Amino acid sequence: MEILGIDVGGSALKGAIVDVQSGKMLTERVRIATPEGGKPEDMAQVAGQIVEQLNWKGPIGCGFPAVVKKGVSYSAANVDKSWIGTSVSELFSKYTHCPVYTANDADVAGLAEMEFGAGKEYYNDVVLILTLGTGIGTALFSEGHLMPNMELGHIEIRGKDAEKRASAAQRTNKKLSYRRWAEHLQEYLEHMEALINPDVIILGGGISKDADKFMQYLNTRAKLLTAVLLNQAGIVGAAMYAKQQLSAAENTAKS
């Protein structure tokens, strides 16, 4: 089954058509910069452009960088505050003319990484997946089950929001060397281990492609891995999420 996956990020919206059985992207990844200010209507318009460029008609899965319940955003750390209380699914649907299913971006990236990536051998473990980008996204799995909307990127470290110290964007913004940035990430990982005790930690987000530049500075009790799907996880996982929702609706209709 083919579904369009859209990964909404603080810096860009990215989309591709995905074969949800194999987890493979069937098209090029379309990437359009997040409009200045990250306002709802502007971003929805960009989602519409992605759909147009890929000439898509059909269900859309969307990963959105906030707490998302039943398609509605309940937070807005790196997008405009007017997203709070807005139905991402309804608004994107209006601009794309397609049914849209939305969940937290890290949660959906985690779904993809657990099924097709670094997590697939760790189904029986407690796995924490981090997406290091504009913010820090977190997805927690126990025996393959996701605990949604964990928002562990916002714990406080040294009086600051953790993602303001250890996200990938902070490395670029503050012009930190990989070594110096890895010290912040190490401290963050130590907090995660103390609070959650995962068996496996998977580092994802665009920066995972540069793993050879910083993995040597990190040391955890948990098995520490880098994501296999790199920056495709958000798109593939968004499509997988839509598939889950469609199957659930089908099952309800049958019973």
Residues binding ligand BGC (CB under 6 A) = 65-67, 75, 77-78, 104-106, 131, 133, 135, 137, 151, 153, 163
Q: State how far the Cα of 58 lies from the Cα of 99, in Å rounded to an integer.
A: 7
- In angstroms, what is the minimal distance from the CB of 175 to ligand BGC? 21
CB 195 to ligand BGC: min, Å: 17
- Please, what is the minimum distance in Å from the beta carbon of residue 7 to ligand BGC? 9
What does each C-alpha distance from 155 to 49, 137, 231, 254 come to in angstroms?
Answer: 35, 12, 24, 43
- Reduce the DSSP state of residue 202 to 3 states and report it: strand
CB of 206 to ligand BGC, least distance (A): 11
Q: Is the CB of 113 or the CB of 163 nearer to ligand BGC?
A: 163
Distances (CA, A) of 229 to 58, 85, 116, 178, 233: 24, 31, 8, 21, 5
Write the burial class of residue 179 (CB in 10 Å: 0-12 exposed, 13-18 middle, 19+ buried). Answer: exposed
Report the nearest approach of ligand BGC to the CB of residue 120 (Å): 22
DSSP state of 207: G
HEC profile of 2-27: EEEEEEECCCEEEEEEEECCCCEECC
The residues with which 8 forms a beta bridge, in sequence order, are: 13
User: Of 40 and 56, which has the nearer Cβ to ligand BGC?
Assistant: 40
Q: By C-beta, is 113 or 151 nearer to ligand BGC?
A: 151
Which secondary structure element, helix H or strand E, spans residue 199, and what is its range? Answer: none
CA 203 to chain centre: 12
Residue number with the smallest Cβ distance to ligand BGC: 135
Q: Which two tokens stand for residue 37?
A: 């200010």
Q: Report the nearest approach of ligand BGC to the CB of residue 137 (Å).
A: 3
Q: Which is nearer to ligand BGC, 133 or 198 (CB)?
A: 133
Q: Which residue's CB is nearer to ligand BGC, number 32 or number 98?
A: 32
To ligand BGC, the closest distance from the beta carbon of 97 in angstroms equals 26
